[in-house]
């Protein structure tokens, strides 16, 4: 099955992105809110039960981290906003977790990962207004295992420690 592991933006980020995509020219078609996510790992052909088991182990005790969108770019037909940790990794030492730790927990090499939020599809250069984009801070509440397709189907969510409203323990919810 074609799967990906992701975090989803919160409402404040979606509102900010709605404002960004509203100003795009006709060369770009906005991505629906339901399809906006930050891919942590892509698995083109995997067993969902095996991946979920690996994520349960890898994410056991994993903490959330603050993120924000900054800058923009184009991959092929995708217009994206860059996603960055809100603070330097050293400033997360009190929580014992960083963005790189979260990536490693899901089986991704942080050195090879380009965190981004796809906001539109089309063609052309990055619109001038997005070069200096800086979006609101958000704290992902969970990592999701998602089946690709239309629509996306969340197979399981793994709450992160320190997320607003999250339990201190990490466990899957189907």
CATH number at residue 66: 3.90.1140.10
Would residue 168 count as lying in a domain?
no
Degrees to nearest 5, angle at CA 113 with 170 and 116: 85
Would residue 164 count as lying in a domain?
no
- Which among 13, 34, 14, 32 is positioned nearest to 138, based on CA atoms? 13
Percent of residues in the chain assigned helix, strand, coil, to nearest 5:
25, 30, 45
Number of structural domains found in the chain: 1
Per-residue pLDDT of the chain (174 residues; tens, 9 = 90+): 999 999 999 999 999 999 999 999 999 999 999 999 999 999 999 999 999 999 999 999 999 999 999 999 999 999 999 999 976 444 444 444 689 999 999 999 999 999 999 999 999 999 988 988 999 999 999 999 999 999 999 999 999 998 765 444 434 443
Which two tokens mark 11? 């409402």
CA gap 93, 51 in Å, rounded: 28
- Which among 166, 138, 120 is positioned nearest to 24, based on CA atoms? 120
Would residue 165 count as lying in a domain?
no
Would residue 166 count as lying in a domain?
no
- Which among 53, 25, 42 is positioned nearest to 115, based on CA atoms? 42
Would residue 171 count as lying in a domain?
no
**What are the distances in angstroms from CA 26 to CA 21, 74, 124?**
11, 16, 10
Res 60: pLDDT: 95
- Which among 156, 143, 71, 141 is positioned nearest to 104, based on CA atoms? 143
Contact 167, 61 (CB under 8 A): no
Domain region containing 47: 3-159
Would residue 49 count as lying in a domain?
yes
């Amino acid at each position: 099955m074609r799967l990906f592991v992701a975090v989803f933006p919160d409402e404040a980020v979606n509102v900010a992105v709605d404002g960004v995509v509203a100003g795009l020219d006709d060369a770009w078609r906005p991505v629906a809110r339901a399809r906006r996510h930050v891919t942590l790992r892509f698995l083109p052909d995997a067993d969902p039960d095996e991946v979920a088991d690996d994520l349960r182990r890898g994410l056991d005790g994993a903490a959330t981290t603050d993120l924000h969108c900054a800058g923009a770019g184009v991959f092929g037909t995708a217009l994206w906003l860059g996603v960055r940790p809100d603070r330097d990794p050293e400033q997360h030492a009190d929580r014992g977790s960083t963005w790189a730790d979260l990536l490693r927990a899901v089986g991704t090499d942080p050195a090879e990962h380009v965190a981004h939020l796809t906001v539109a599809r089309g063609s052309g250069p990055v619109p001038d207004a997005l070069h200096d984009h800086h979006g609101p801070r958000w704290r992902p509440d969970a990592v999701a295992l998602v089946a690709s397709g239309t629509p996306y189907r969340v197979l399981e969510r793994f709450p992160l420690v320190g997320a607003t409203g999250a339990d201190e323990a990490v466990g899957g919810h189907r």
